[in-house]
Each structure stands twice: as structure tokens, then as C-alpha cells.
Structure 1
Amino acid sequence: MSEDLELSTRTLGEAGPRVAFVHGLFGQGRNWTTIARRLADPTEAGPGHRVTLVDLPNHGHSPWTDRVDYVDMAELLAGLLASWGEPVTLVGHSMGGKVAMQLALRHPELLRALVVVDISPSTYPETGGRTDDPYEEASPFAAFIAAMQAIDLDALATREDADAALRAAVPSDMVRGFLLQSLVRDGSSGWRWRLNLATLGRDLGVLRGFPEPPPGAVFPGPVLWIAGADSTYVLPEDRARMDELFPAVRLVRVKNAGHWVHSEAPEVFTEAVRRFLDGVEQRHGLAQVEA
């Protein structure tokens, strides 16, 4: 992966502490727009934040690459954050959460704080197996990719036709709508996926993993871990590793929410992040005074 690759971004808010969001597999920065707008707006508790939404490689408007690698993505993101010249609070969901964790453990100086959304620093099985729960969220992504690749884009007439074609493999209306955000008109010539489906499908095993951090690596800053109570991505047995790598972690489980917790419970999610950010800024301000 080239170090010269430039990630596509969009920023909401012109002032305030910096916050960056990185999406999960099949996502893009725009998925966070509503939450970003809320965090960018000032409140009675203080000024708003300058929120940057990042498209990771092979997603959204960012370039495609010939492989998928968490350390590569973390280094690319680190270069972007370093260019801003100030510490950032980084929020990452699922795949983006693993990228964010890798960055925090390799470049802790770039971050003021970290928010990890429904993912753990662990390797996930190809099909089920983490629990005895018949609802296993880690397994359907290969089927999602196959279903998207099976759509004949040259013959596709409408987005509704694509939705119907995905329904068997992706029964959730919410998830289908999420996937279809990456299906776009290619000028007047037809449709295309903004997702690099071939590379993502080939390297799906890489995405299920979590590269071993550098020896002794720890992120000492404040960390908020938000998990869906109905999700199997963050299990009790993951907590020891979370505490080892991120000793200042606080775990919050959101009731009636699964893996896409920020979409299923947006108000609860946004409030949890806002309160965390307020606390981070209060601690930062106190540290500056004491210095």
C-alpha cells in the first residue's frame, strides 16, 4: 500500500477540539454525518467539535489498493492525523475500530482519546463459533460480498432492483440500505460499487484478525468502548485483553442494539460519545492549567 495514498475526508465544524470517525467494513465517512453534525454543534456545556469523517482505502471516495492490511491503514490514518498538528479523539467502528486501536498502540502521541465501537482486539472466526448464540454476526460478510458481486450492474435499472437482489442474502432492511449507499451511478453509463469488492472478499480473513501490537505497546489515554448488548463482537472474555492494551477503558453496553449500535440507537450512542468528549476536554483543560 503506497504511503502517498491520500484518504478522502469531509469535515463538519470550523472550530473546537478535533474528532475523527473511521467506519467499518462496507461503510464510508458519510455514514457518520448525522452524529457528526450533532457533535459539531455547540451546546450549553461548551463549544462544538471539528469533526472529520474519513473514508478508509477501498471504501467511499478513497483510492483502491491491492491488499487490505490493518497496520497499513493505521499508518495512512496516522499520517492524516499528524498533518493536523494537534491531538485528536478517534472514533472507530468494527473494522475502523481495529484500525483505530492499531493507530493508538503505535502512535499514542497523536490521540487525545479513543472510542471503539463494537469490536474487540481479537480474531473472529470465519463462521460463528465465538458463543453458542445462534445469532452470530461475524459470519455473514462473505455472503454479503458474494451477493453484491452477483448483481449484474450492466442490466441494473433501479436501486430498488438492487435492493430486491440482495434481500435473500441480506434480510435486514437496515443493513441492505447501508450496503446500497456504496452503489452509485457511474455518470450516464450505469452503476458501480464504491467498494473494492474483489480485494475485500479475498482479504476477508485478514479483516477478521488483529495484528499483534508492538511489544509492550499500551495506549494510556482515556478510552470509551461502546458495544451493542445484542452483539457478539465484544464478549466478557475479551475484557482482559482490552484492559491490558487500554488500561483507562470504560465499557458501555447499549440495550436493544447489535453490531451497528450507532445506527440502531443513535440518540444513546451520540449522548454517550458527547459526554465522553466533554470529560476528555475537562481533563485536558485541567492538565493545561496544572502545567
Structure 2
Amino acid sequence: MSVQLSYQDLGSGEPIVILHGLFGSKRNWSAIAKRLSAHNRVLTVDMRNHGESPWIDGMDYRDMSADVADFIKRHALGSCTVIGHSMGGKAAMTLALTHPELVARLVVVDIAPVERETGFGAYIEAMAEVPLAMCDSRNDIEEHLADVVRDKMVRSFLVQNVVREETGFRWRINLAALDAGMDQIADFPAPDHHQSYNNRTLFVAGARSDYIQPHHLADITRLFPKADIAHIPDAGHWLHAEAPEVFLRELTAFLGA
């Protein structure tokens, strides 16, 4: 069952759809989307169980890619460029493999088409245990996460998922569904025999990240035979936030080629 995804729509021209990663939202890509919107129509979406999109059981990439396929068709975008980071990158790859007619070009940000344990289950448990009713500020929430989430940048990223209402704070992500779906998020659905995506593809890897490794190259080229791989120096997994200018240079060069 697919869901209608919340989105932001900027600019005009050939459409670009951006899919965020686990614990992310369309807001995380606002700066990149604004820059790209100078020459393109850019639609950033909230994936299921994230941001302002509906909550629903199931985090299978076939279902997530179906959400995006329905989004592209509903907005009559035709064949468009799809950019996906991490979890969103796996959803984008699944979409390209199953609905290549909807994907003119593909950009995969710091993820490979392989199963990978995320290690993020502990983060979800820590987030669920934060006593939000006793917290007066986002700093309080960060302090409750500090023992498990040691990296301050990651803590700040996670706390972007907190919403303050009249009755106090709440999480805008569906922690229960993400926890139940962690095995699916770590997985990558095996494509049909001999299935591949034959349009231009760019994989962008953070040089300090291990999400794309040399031994992944065989899987990448088998499924995406026209793929190029770019590495962003001094950047980790969230490279679009850590090195936005370098990332944009790689991206605009690919889009303009």
C-alpha cells in the first residue's frame, strides 16, 4: 500500500525529486534544493514515517519506491532526475530498477545496492526512551541522547525530528515503525535476473564514509552499468551537509553533462 508523500516544490524546468535518508526529512535538503531550483523544478519529499508524511507499517524498499512512483505520476513529472541519500538512495535505486521509465537520471548519495547493518537500532531505542514531557528544550533532549549518540552533529540531526506543541515535545518520525522495519532498511531487495538500469547514474561517496567500498563496485556496475563514482574529500555519510559546495559541484557537473 502506497502513501501520498508530503513535499516542497521549488523552481521550474526539468524536474528533480530528492529522497532523504533515515531520520531525515525534506527540510534537510532545503539548501541544496534552493540552489538547484535556479535551473530546475526541485521537489523534496518526506519519506513514509518521516516528516509530515503519513505513518504506516512497513519500510520495504519496494513499498517506498512505489510511494515515489505514485508521487511522480500524480504530479505528472514524466521521466525525471531522482536523487536519494542513504535509505532514500536505496529507494531511488529500487525505483530506477523497477520503473526505469520514470527515472531519466539517477544520483545515489553514499549508499551501495547491498545489504548493510545500520547500527541505528540503538539510536531509535534511545530516542524512544527520552522523557519528552520532562524536557524544556532541545538541548535537554540532546543531553538524554548523549550516552548513546556520542557525535554531537548526529545528535543535533536527530533532534531536528522533534516538534514542540502546546502540550510539549513529540517526535515527528514513527519510531515504532522504523524499529520494526530496521531489517528491511538494512536490506536491499534483490532485483529480477538480469535486471539493470541503463541510464546515466552518479554515485557520490564521502571519503571518510565506508558505505560505498571498493568491493561494492561489482554490484554497482552490474545493476547500473553507466554509473560513475565521485568521492567527496573530508566528508562522511552526511556529505551533502558536511561539504555542500563540493557536493553541488559534482552534482551540477553531472546534471549539466
Structure 2 residue matching 1:34: 3-state secondary structure: helix
Q: Contact 1:106 / 1:214 at 8 angstroms: preserved in 2? A: no
- Cross-structure match for 2:105: 113
- Cross-structure match for 1:87: 79
Aligned pairs for 1:3-152 (under 5 A) are 3=2, 5-13=3-11, 15-41=12-38, 48-83=39-74, 84-125=76-117, 138-139=118-119, 141-152=120-131
- Cross-structure match for 2:222: 244
Q: What per-residue deviation string (whole Å, max 9, x for no partner) do you get for residues 239-285 of structure 1? A: 00100110000001111111111111111001111111111xxxxxx
The runs of 5 or more residues in structure 1 that have no matched partner are: 42-47, 126-137, 280-291
Cα displacement (A) at 1:216: 2.1
Q: What per-residue deviation string (whole Å, max 9, x for no partner) do you get for residues 81-116 of structure 1? A: 123242110000000000000000000000110000
- Cross-structure match for 1:272: 250
Find runs of 4+ consecutive structure 1 residues off by over 2 angstroms.
Answer: none
Cα displacement (A) at 1:53: 0.4
- The count of residues paired between Structure 1 and Structure 2 equals 256
Report the Cα distance in structure 2 between the residues aligned to 1:158 and 1:53, rounded to whole angstroms. Answer: 28
One of 144, 149, 153 as aligned partner of 1:170: 149
Q: Percent same amino acid at aligned positions?
A: 43
Report the Cα distance in structure 2 between the residues aligned to 1:197 and 1:28, rounded to whole angstroms. Answer: 14
Q: Contact 1:12 / 1:37 at 8 angstroms: preserved in 2? A: yes
Cα displacement (A) at 1:76: 1.2
Cα displacement (A) at 1:203: 1.6
Cα displacement (A) at 1:214: 2.3
Q: What per-residue deviation string (whole Å, max 9, x for no partner) do you get for residues 33-89 of structure 1? A: 001111112xxxxxx111000100000000001121110010111111123242110
- Cross-structure match for 1:131: none
Report the Cα distance in structure 1 between the residues aligned to 2:193 and 2:173, rounded to whole angstroms. Answer: 34
Give the counterpart letter for 1:35 in structure 2.
I
Structure 1 residue matching 2:133: 3-state secondary structure: coil
Q: Contact 2:15 / 2:77 at 8 angstroms: preserved in 1? A: no
Q: Contact 2:79 / 2:102 at 8 angstroms: preserved in 1? A: yes
Cα displacement (A) at 1:218: 1.0
One of 229, 232, 241 as aligned partner of 1:254: 232
Q: What per-residue deviation string (whole Å, max 9, x for no partner) do you get for residues 104-162 of structure 1? A: 0000000110000000010113xxxxxxxxxxxx42x1121111111111222111101
Structure 2 residue matching 1:239: 3-state secondary structure: helix
Report the Cα distance in structure 1 between the residues aligned to 2:62 and 2:7, rounded to whole angstroms. Answer: 20
Give the counterpart letter for 1:165 in structure 2.
H
What RMSD in Å do the two structures reach over aligned CA positions?
1.0
- Cross-structure match for 1:161: 140
Cα displacement (A) at 1:215: 2.5
Q: Contact 1:59 / 1:196 at 8 angstroms: preserved in 2? A: yes
Q: Contact 2:16 / 2:40 at 8 angstroms: preserved in 1? A: yes
Give the counterpart letter for 1:108 in structure 2.
P
1:185 corresponds to 2:164? yes
Give the counterpart letter for 1:12 in structure 2.
L
1:220 corresponds to 2:220? no
